[in-house]
Structure 1
């Protein structure tokens, strides 16, 4: 079950910039098993770790949704850096706005099930590089 966060809607050029950052992130980590998947140009994209979606970005007329899988910290820790980087460029909806647009926060049960599921196998992880101070994804 992915974690969801909703943000204020953004213009085409703003989404294009987020897309470029996501692509640069993946290009720097292809050897670790990351892949960029554009499900709808200008509106929706995903980042996969060895075939498993770990980050989704979906642009709707009323808001932008960013979801990160609950096991991303184990499966693809670097994707959490990307999430933080992208979040800084967005204006979040407050809790009530998220509820009104149908974007609930993950429930405690989801987190408990994840904790009980155990660790992600080493071969299913994507580990590697981080974001450097020059504004680029690097080793």
Structure 2
């Protein structure tokens, strides 16, 4: 009986993977929550992200401020690859699952930012409602294939 269920769901999975390959969705983020920080500290992190983008003028990066002192993003050719967002009780840092292909140098910025922050433990993250990318998200990202050369950043 179980193999019938699997056989019935297999065509659906094939359609989803084919659709993902044909029309790639925006990258799925991989979030991590950190303890809340002061306005001054958030401004320092914001400046570091701005300097990161400014030091790579022809590499396709853009700094996008969503809400002053609350959220900013780093985009690669118009697609967000890193987000930092202040929430009421914690800070959320997200990097797209395809950042290692799309903009590998942004992983350095993530490391610099993370190094300066105190992460919440796993239970605190769950209680804060921080979603973890599920296995299906990661699998679809892999099956979607490589990022085209023209969509990459940080590569001269």
Residue among 94, 100, 107 paired with 1:67: 94
Write out aligned runs for 1:122-133 (5 A).
Answer: 122-128=149-155
User: Corresponding residue for 1:135?
Assistant: none
Residue among 33, 37, 41 paired with 1:14: 41
1:128–1:17 Cα change, 3 Å: farther
Going by fraction, where is helix more abundant, 1 or 2?
Answer: 2
Q: Which runs of 5+ in 2 are unaligned?
A: 1-27
Aligned length: 129
Does residue 42 of the first structure (1) align with residue 69 of the second (2)? yes
Q: Please report how far the alpha carbon of residue 102 of structure 1 lies from its aligned counterpart in structure 2 after TM superposition.
A: 0.5
Going by fraction, where is strand more abundant, 1 or 2?
Answer: 1
Q: Equivalent residue of 1:114, what SS?
A: helix
For 1:55 and 1:103, the matched residues in 2 are separated by 16
User: Corresponding residue for 1:108?
Assistant: 135
For 1:94 and 1:107, the matched residues in 2 are separated by 18
Does the CA contact (< 8 Å) of 1:46 and 1:57 recur in 2? yes
Residue among 144, 147, 150 paired with 1:117: 144
Larger CA Rg, structure 1 vs 2: 2
User: Corresponding residue for 2:32?
Assistant: 5
Q: Please report how far the alpha carbon of residue 62 of structure 1 lies from its aligned counterpart in structure 2 after TM superposition.
A: 0.1
Q: Equivalent residue of 1:77, what SS?
A: coil
Q: Which runs of 5+ in 1 are unaligned?
A: 130-139
Q: Please report how far the alpha carbon of residue 109 of structure 1 lies from its aligned counterpart in structure 2 after TM superposition.
A: 1.0
Q: Please report how far the alpha carbon of residue 30 of structure 1 lies from its aligned counterpart in structure 2 after TM superposition.
A: 2.4
Q: Equivalent residue of 1:16, what SS?
A: helix
Does residue 32 of the first structure (1) align with residue 59 of the second (2)? yes
For 1:56 and 1:45, the matched residues in 2 are separated by 6
Does the CA contact (< 8 Å) of 1:37 and 1:46 recur in 2? yes
